Every structure is written in C-alpha cells, then in structure tokens.
Amino acid sequence: MHHADVTCLVPDGVIHTVCMQCPWGCGLEVHVAGGAIERISGNKRHPFSTGLICPKALAAPDVMLHPRRITRPMRRTEQGWQTVSWDDAYDILTENLTAVKERHGPKALAVAIGMPVLLGGNSTVSFLRRFCDIYGTPNCFSVESICFRCQIIARILTLGTYEVPDVTNSDCMLVWGNNPDASAPPTAKRIREALNKGAKLIVIDPRVTDLAARADLHLAVRPGTDTALALGMMQVLMAEGLYDRDFVDRWTVGFEQLARVAAEYTLDTVAGLTGVPGPAIAAAARLFAGSPSACIVQGTNALDQHTIGLQNSRCVAILQALTGNIDRAGGFVSTSKVKLNPIRLPEMMEGEPLGADHYPLFNEVWGRNFGEGQSMLLAETILDEKPYPIKAMIVAASNPVITWPGGRKLEKAMETLDFVAVMDLFMTPTADKAHLFLPAATFLERVELCDYYGTLQAVPYLSVRRKLFQVGQAVSDLDFWIELGKRMGYQEHFPWADATEALDYALEPSHITIAAMEAEPEGGRDFGEVRLGLYQKKGGFATPSGKVELFSQTLADLGHDGVPRHRESPELSGGSSDHEFPLILTTGARALHYLHSQYRDIDRLARRAPQAEAEIHPETARRFGIEEGAAMEIQSRQGSITMRARLTDSILPGVVAVPHGWGEASANDLTDDYRGDPITGYPILKSKACRVRPTGAASS
Ligand SMILES: Nc1nc2c(c(=O)[nH]1)N[C@H]1C(S)=C(S)[C@@H](COP(=O)(O)OP(=O)(O)OC[C@H]3O[C@@H](n4cnc5c(=O)[nH]c(N)nc54)[C@H](O)[C@@H]3O)O[C@H]1N2
Ligand SMILES: Nc1nc2c(c(=O)[nH]1)N[C@H]1C(S)=C(S)[C@@H](COP(=O)(O)OP(=O)(O)OC[C@H]3O[C@@H](n4cnc5c(=O)[nH]c(N)nc54)[C@H](O)[C@@H]3O)O[C@H]1N2
Ligand code: SF4
Ligand SMILES: [Mo]
C-alpha cells in the first residue's frame, strides 16, 4: 500500500471516535494535523472508558498504514492473486452466489463473521443478516459459538434478561475466569477505582493474575471445576443461613432442588474436585454474601469453553440471586436499550441454521432468536455434505483457520468449496483459501453506531464511529453488505446510499441521526437508564415462571441438569490421573498487546512480546525436564505444537497455559471442534489433557 492512497476526510483538529482495536470500544480523540494523524488520546468525556487508552489503540495508525495491508479487491487466478475493480468483485460475487443458490438452495451459503463485524454494533450485524435473510440462508456463524453467547443464554435462562455487574458501585467484586488487565482494560480500571474506595476483591483463577495478587482472596481453581466450586459456596450460604431468604422466597423458584444438589457439595468434596482448600471456599462465600452489595465479573470465555460451560455461567447468575444482588446498585443490573427499527427479515429466510436441532437454546430462548448456527458444525457439514451441502462461504473479519478450534479441518473444508470470499485487512491464512479477497476499512475509515456499552457494562450510552480517512479502495463491512444487497437485486430492501443513511433509518424510532451524534462535543450521547429495582416495578422476571429460575425447567425438559452439577471434562478424569496425558491444558489467556491472531507484525506491539510463551509451574517443568526459555513440545490428543516455556510459580502446578492466535504454533492445533458443552455446542478450550517434553527428546 502506498501512502499516496490515503485521503483525509476531516479538517485538522480533534475528532472523537470509538476504538476497535479490541472489543471494548473506548472513546478516542484523534488529533488530525496536516491531513494525518498526529496522535491519539483517550476521550475523558466518554462515560464508558473515561479517558483510558491502551497500547493497541496507539498502534491504530500503524495498522491503517501497514505496508502489507491490502486495499484493493483481488481475485485468485492460476498465475496467483490479481487486482480487480470493485465492479468486477461484485460481479464475481453475484455470479457465484446466484449459481450456488440455483444449484443447491440458499442454505448452501455460509457467512462467518468475527469480532470486528460484531463490534460494528448491533446494527452492522443486523444489516449483514438482513442480506442473509433475503438471500435465504439461515447459516450465519460467528465467534459467539465459542465466546460470550453462552453466558448470555445462561443469564437469560436464570434471570430472564442479560444483566451485567455494576462494578462502580460494588462493595465486593468476584473476578471469575477473567484477567481484565490483559483483556478488558476499561473493566480493570473500574475494578481498581472500586478497590481504592474500599471494595473487597475475590479472584477465582488457576493463575495469579495482577488482580489475584491484590485480592482479599484468591482461589486457584483447577480448570474446568468452577461449577463444583460455586456449588460449594452455595452449600456454605445455605448451611450458614447467609443467603437472602426474603429475595429467595419471593422471587425465585427451585430453591429446594438447588439445596438438595448443593448439599452434596461439602467442602471436603469440593476441595478434592477443585484443589481449593475448604476454608478458602467458605471464606469466599461469607465475604461475597456478607457484603452490602456484590457482583461477579465473569470473563467472556474462560468459564464458557468447557463441558459445563453453560452451567458455569448459570452458577454465576444463581450466586447473584441467592445473595439478592439483582437489579441492585453494586450487584447485577441491566440498562434500557436504544430503540431501533427492526432490520432483520427472518420470515424470508429458509429454515433453521446448523445446530438448531441439537442445540436449540443456542438458537433461541423463549422466542428470542439469536440467528446463528453453531460454528463448530461447519467444517464437518462441508466435508460430509450432511445434512445438506454447503458450497460457498463468505468470511468477514475473522481468521478461523487460526482462531477456531478445528481451524485446520475448516481449512481443508474450505478447499473443497465452489466459492470463498474473505473480507479482511491483510492476507491471513484464512484469506489465503479465498477465491476473492475484499479489502476492508479499519475503524478509522468507517461510520458505525456503537450501542453496546449497556451490554458490556451498565453504561447506557451511544457513540458513533467516524470515517476519518479513505485508504485505497477499502470499504467498511457495513457499506459492503448494503452494496452487495443492491447488486444482488435486493434494492427494495437496501434503499440506502451508504452506511450513514442505513444507520439513520435504524435510529429513526429514537429520533437521533448520525450527523447529530457526530456533532456532539463528546462524541456520543446518553440514552435511557440503569434500571434498578426492575423486577419490583414489573412484578417479576422475564422467565416462564416469572421468577429467577434456580432450577431450570427449560433445561430439564431438554434432558439437561435443571440444577447445575459438576461434570468432568471428558479428557480429564479426576485431574492428573491420566498417565498418557497427565497435565491440564488451558488455552487462550489474553495478552494485552495482541488481539487473537492480530498485530503480530505491528512492530510497536510485537516488540513487547515478540515470542509465544506457554506458562508452566517450575515444579511441573522439572518433572518433565523443561527448562526456562527452552522450546517445549506440547501434545494433546488432537495434535502437538512447539512453544517456548515460561516457568512461573503464578500458575497452578499441573496446568499448562498456551496462548492462542500464533500462526506458527497455533493453540488450535491442540484443540478440535468437538462440541463439549451439550447445551450450547461450545468446544473445550480450557480444560483439556496434555503432556509436555523438551523438543528433541525421544518420544515416550
Ligand atoms: N488484549 C486482548 N484483549 C482481548 C482479547 C485479546 O485477544 N487480546 N480478546 C477479547 C475477546 S474476543 C474475549 S472473548 C475476551 C476474553 O476475555 P476473558 O475470557 O476474560 O479472558 P482473560 O482475561 O484472558 O481471562 C481468562 C482467565 O481465566 C483463567 N482461566 C482459564 N481456565 C479457567 C477455568 O477453568 N476456570 C477459571 N476460573 N479460570 C480459568 C485464565 O488463567 C485467565 O487468567 O478478551 C477480549 N479482550
Ligand atoms: N484455543 C483458543 N482459541 C480461541 C480462543 C481461546 O481462548 N482459545 N478464543 C476465541 C475467541 S473468544 C474469539 S472471539 C475468537 C476470535 O476469532 P477471530 O474473530 O477470527 O479473531 P481475529 O484473529 O481477531 O481475526 C479478525 C480478523 O479480522 C481482520 N480485521 C480487522 N479489522 C477488520 C475490519 O474492520 N473488517 C474486516 N472485514 N476485517 C477486519 C483482522 O485482520 C483479522 O484477520 O478466537 C477464539 N479462539
Ligand atoms: S482497551 Fe485499548 S484496544 Fe481495547 S478498545 Fe480500549 S483503547 Fe481500544
Ligand atoms: Mo471472544
């Protein structure tokens, strides 16, 4: 890419926009001088991020202007990649999509999206799905098959809505399977502010994270045993009468069933399962229940990617309810949502997505349809052509060959497809499988409506992402899907000239326009409210029973545990009793400077952590002859990779933590698309069996 291809679209000055270098959407100030970015700073007036900025955001111009960035469409030919015009690219797309639909029906098109599309906000995703609805395919997939959706479903099943922790006002925070200093800086900032005001902190994590080191209590749990730990805490609350009896009596169903199960989880039993000493479990239960307000700050995938993924998250919601910390300041709260015109046209789509039969709750809970297939079925379906053929795929903003468990299988499956288009900034291992490459705009080159702060934290705020630059012929994801709709002949349903017009249509019921938002001095505006005491006002919860469901009839009717129970990961039987694969593998703990497979070639980020490192306790390392800094082979039942060993006593002995997103040593070569959680079909990425040996050592 040549810098001559960069056009600045805004006057010199300070422009407010929303970061997308990771999922949190912090408010940024971009200082533009002489048509270029002079510097970027945090927007102090953005109520979600309050001025925070992290190294990834500072590197945004490096991504935008990266020499390896691709900013023109390309088609694959026998001679290699060849640049084509957008007109040609749309012709190739419409020709292939039309042919696939004629030959195999609309379901034969799969669309897979990653985080950067999800972060376009609900409206960007909805416009993309509107395209799929009209085309007729239900087969939309996203990273939510492995991330976040699981806990949303669990909270809805338990509380009727997705509620979030009100960290700012909390007296006690339980940070569970979450290292926000790496993965969620705005949350880390809020937690530290609450600590400085005197709040208590409990951390449940097999590693001593920075917050764990500061915590009043750190429970170093054996991966995959969190439900047992939670039941142990519940058992203490019940035995000692520490739960909120009034709330439980008036507003919950299933207490007796829960109590019967919890009674089985005595401190001795739980200590045996989890490795956490009984007194620490009791102390955590007492501290959590004894605080005037308390909230659980759950990570967005560490508790989900297990056989008991959904049940782990059910436990989180149940502990909130048992202590009465629902719709209450400092507990769990929800915010009102901005009113948008409906964008989806589900009545036009044909049938249900892959997985709707086996994982009905992943598809829909009580009429609330999530509109996604279970991604872990995709590779298998393509390869086996069962229950029907999938023949074309569009990948937008995702690098599943590296980031999805079973990515190599998907890579093979993609090679068999009639047509693959990938929209990205760079030539990734996934884009390398495409017939057509579509150049995407970075977040500095696109208009979007960021309406998710209420779902991430209790901040009812709307922000607009601004288009500051045009780089080459890069197009924003939203603009692409609108234009593709028109080219496919769906003008009637895509009447908008561009993203701004489409978003203005979406915003109509709220009487807000993108232009009005852009004119706001702080780059966005408040809407609605944090809804405290909602269940009292409404006289109940949005569940079938109208109460918090400690026992879930919906789960029981589908043959699952109505009350959560510990279920061992199929690969681990009682911890380290497996002689062949004696260690526990957890993958994907976040590193501040990277986002999944991204930024490895952004110098200012990569030099902070130039090499992939797997964490292992010195005692465990000694047992297997592993030395600090040496190359170590990690083998699971599915595969093996080699990674440098980092010896640290801040990880539980017997556990190996492998980061994901590294192309040369992909954690997902150790995982597969086995759908470990019977409720959601989530894969197991955090409680697998493995073994290690120094590289070069003879195979055992
Ligand atoms: N810098 C950066 N930020 C990111 C991302 C990134 O790639 N880079 N990714 C973003 C995305 S999409 C997501 S989903 C989030 C993920 O965010 P989180 O899911 O919150 O992931 P982490 O913050 O790494 O915290 C996970 C913690 O869980 C611990 N853990 C592992 N297994 C278990 C277990 O079985 N039980 C318990 N209790 N703890 C366990 C790990 O040791 C780790 O400290 O981060 C987001 N933010
Ligand atoms: N083993 C293991 N695997 C994991 C995890 C784990 O914990 N362990 N975590 C999982 C989780 S939680 C998630 S969310 C997934 C993430 O999986 P992905 O979403 O596949 O993650 P990324 O590597 O960030 O891929 C994003 C791609 O989009 C491109 N891109 C960036 N901005 C834009 C844009 O604006 N438009 C378009 N079209 N492209 C853009 C980037 O160049 C990059 O290639 O990874 C999962 N993989
Ligand atoms: S934490 Fe950093 S990368 Fe993530 S949105 Fe905020 S500033 Fe951007
Ligand atoms: Mo994620």
The residues pairing with 39 across neighbouring beta strands, listed in sequence order, are 31
Give the phi and the psi of residue 576 in degrees, each rounded to 5.
-100, 35
Per-residue confidence (pLDDT) for residue 120, from 0 to 100: 82
Q: Place 697 in a pLDDT band, splitting at 50, 70 and 90.
A: low
Pairing of strands 640-647, 445-450: unpaired
Mean pLDDT (whole number) for 188-209? 98
Contact 24 CB / ligand 3 (< 6 Å): yes
Task: Read off the pLDDT of residues 533-546 as tens digits, 9 standing for 90 and up.
Answer: 999 999 999 999 99
Tell me how far the alpha carbon of residue 303 lies from the centroid of ligand 1, in angstroms. Answer: 9
Dist. CA 636–CA 690, nearest whole Å: 4
Q: Is the pLDDT of residue 414 over 60?
A: yes
* Ligand minimally distant from the alpha carbon of residue 114: 2
188 lines ligand 3 (CB under 6 A): no
CB 564 within 8 A of CB 231: yes
Q: Is the Cβ–Cβ distance between 572 and 394 less than 8 Å?
A: no
Asked if the model's pLDDT at residue 699 lies above 50, the reply is: no
Instruction: Please check the confidence at residue 678 and state whether its pLDDT lies above 70.
Output: yes
Other Cβ atoms less than 10 A from the Cβ of 105: the count is 16
Those residues whose C-beta lies under 8 Å from the C-beta of residue 557, and which sit 6 or more positions away, are none
Q: Kindly state the average pLDDT of the residues 554-565.
A: 98
Q: What's the pLDDT at 700?
A: 45
At 350, the pLDDT band (50, 70, 90 cuts) reads confident
pLDDT digits (tens, 9 = 90+) for 35-46: 999 999 999 999
- Residue 576, pLDDT above cutoff 80: no
pLDDT tier, 511 (very low <50, low <70, confident <90, very high otherwise) = very high
For residue 577, the model assigns a pLDDT of: 53
Residues 121/343, Cβ–Cβ less than 8 Å: no
Pocket lining: 57 vs ligand 3, CB cutoff 6 Å? yes
558, two tokens = 């589908």
**688: pLDDT strictly greater than 90:** yes
Q: Which ligand is nearest to the CA of 685?
A: 2
Phi, psi angles (nearest 5°) of residue 21: -80, -10
CA of 292 relative to ligand 4 center, distance in Å: 32
Average pLDDT, the chain: 96
CA of 597 to the centre of ligand 1 (A): 15
Tens-place pLDDT, residues 3-14? 669 999 999 999
Determine the pLDDT at residue 295: 98
pLDDT above 70 as % of the chain: 98
Give the pLDDT confidence of 238-270 residue by residue, as tens digits.
999 999 999 999 999 999 999 999 999 999 999
List Cα–Cα distances, 411 to 348, 405, 416, 456, 671, in angstroms. Answer: 30, 11, 9, 32, 14
pLDDT for the residue numbered 384: 98
- CA 651 to ligand 1: nearest atom: 42
Please name which ligand lies nearest the alpha carbon of 182. Answer: 1
pLDDT of residue 500: 96
Tell me what pLDDT residue 574 has.
52
Query: Nearest residue CA, atom 6 of ligand 3?
Result: 26
pLDDT mean over 508-534: 91
pLDDT at res. 506: 96
Closest ligand 3 atom to the C-alpha of 595?
A: 3
Residues 6+ apart with CB under 8 A from 382: 110, 390, 393, 410, 413, 414, 416, 417
683 lines ligand 2 (CB under 6 A): no
pLDDT at 483: 98
What is the pTM (predicted TM-score) of this model? Answer: 0.97
- 303-333: string of b/e by CB count within 10 Å (b at 16+)? bbbbbbbbbbbbbbbbbbbbbbbbbbbbbbb
| Sign of the alpha-carbon torsion through 311, 329, 525, 337 | positive
Domains of the chain, each with CATH number or no CATH: 74-148+338-526 (3.40.50.740), 167-330+534-557 (3.40.228.10), 583-698 (2.40.40.20)
CA torsion 534→535→538→543, rounded to 10°? Answer: 120
Hey, what are 577's tokens? Answer: 């009793």
Least confident of 15-24, 452-461, 593-602, 661-670: 452-461
Q: What is the pLDDT of residue 123?
A: 84
**Res 288 pLDDT > 60:** yes
